[in-house]
Amino acid sequence: MQRILIDTDPGVDDAYAILLAMRSPELCVEAITTVCGNVPVEQATQNLFTILGSLDLDEFPIIAQGEAAPLVKPLVTAAHVHGDDGLGNTSHLRDTDGNQRYFHANTTLSSLSGVDLILEAASQYPDELIVVALGPLTNLAKAIRKDAAKMRRLQKIVVMGGVFEDYGNVTTTAEFNIFIDPHAAQEVFQFGVPVHIFPLDATHQVVLTGERLRAEIEGRDDKVSRFLWDATQACMEFYRQHVGFWGFHIHDALPIAALTSPDYFESVDAYIQVETEGDLTNGMTVADLRPERQRHNPNAQVCVKVAAAFLDSFFKRLR
């Protein structure tokens, strides 16, 4: 059993990752912290309660709301991709009888801040806790600044973010999570705790088409299946208009899956730095992934390949 803390900015692909984590018996989700990113942090927290509300759970992870702004830059969100509420506009949906379709989980928000909950969990499970960061790394950087000794007791940090040999999804050179708070990412990568990063180079290898999603949930009337379909439609329409296919990349599910099914993933060691100042390259993750060209001791593992069977495993677990 692996103890994990999920740090997230839900986000449709975050929803896929959280549902996968909660349906993976190899993982014990001790806590979930929210952070600004896809949406403002208050909305991210509301979205997390909605995601958890689609599951029939007797117990919930501890939940805390994290940072509302990046370390230096002003916040930029992604409602144009994920819907006005960041969750495919599911908060606006009504059933045929006019009742709200999705409800919040019956749990409460911790009195701790997101940063303090990360530090408490790191202290409670020294050398055991894995932090899975699915959004900007602001909470983690703030936790490092506040108590580096406790953060050094993390087993590792697993990150969805960055891009190396592919194009970015915000600018030509930058991936969204890193672009939103590049200063935080640089601090986390340079901190010294083992980092395993899943960049766009890997997540772009997994395409969930609308046809595949429809086939997987067809004939099913459970809450999770209905929620996945409803939450995903805004993203898929964005991809249809701007990328050229009806579907989307479930980026954030990959780092969760790598903890339970590592054989689906191939990674290389690298030394990663983040550009924080460049006008054209702000948020760019910089690394030479060629083993023979390493000039520094690696500070991370970078996922470079994903097996096609990943999606089969994903839907099997959700069922």
Give the Cα separation of 289 and 293 in Å (integer).
8
| 251 is a catalytic site residue | yes
The angle, 0 to 180 degrees and rounded to 10, between the axes of the packed helices 182-189 and 138-146 is 50
How many residues does this entry show for the chain?
319
- At position 230, the amino acid (one-letter code) is D
Smallest Cα–Cα separation from 171: which of 76, 84, 85? 76
Residue in 82, 183, 196, 251 annotated catalytic: 251
H-assigned helices in 138-203: 138-146, 148-151, 176-180, 182-189, 200-203
Exposed/middle/buried for residue 280 (C-beta within 10 Å: 0-12, 13-18, 19+): exposed
**Which token pair is 15?**
């929803």
What Å distances lie between residue 147 and 117, 174, 235, 258, CA to CA? 12, 29, 38, 28
Phi, psi for 257 (deg, rounded to 5): -65, -35
Annotated catalytic residues are: 251
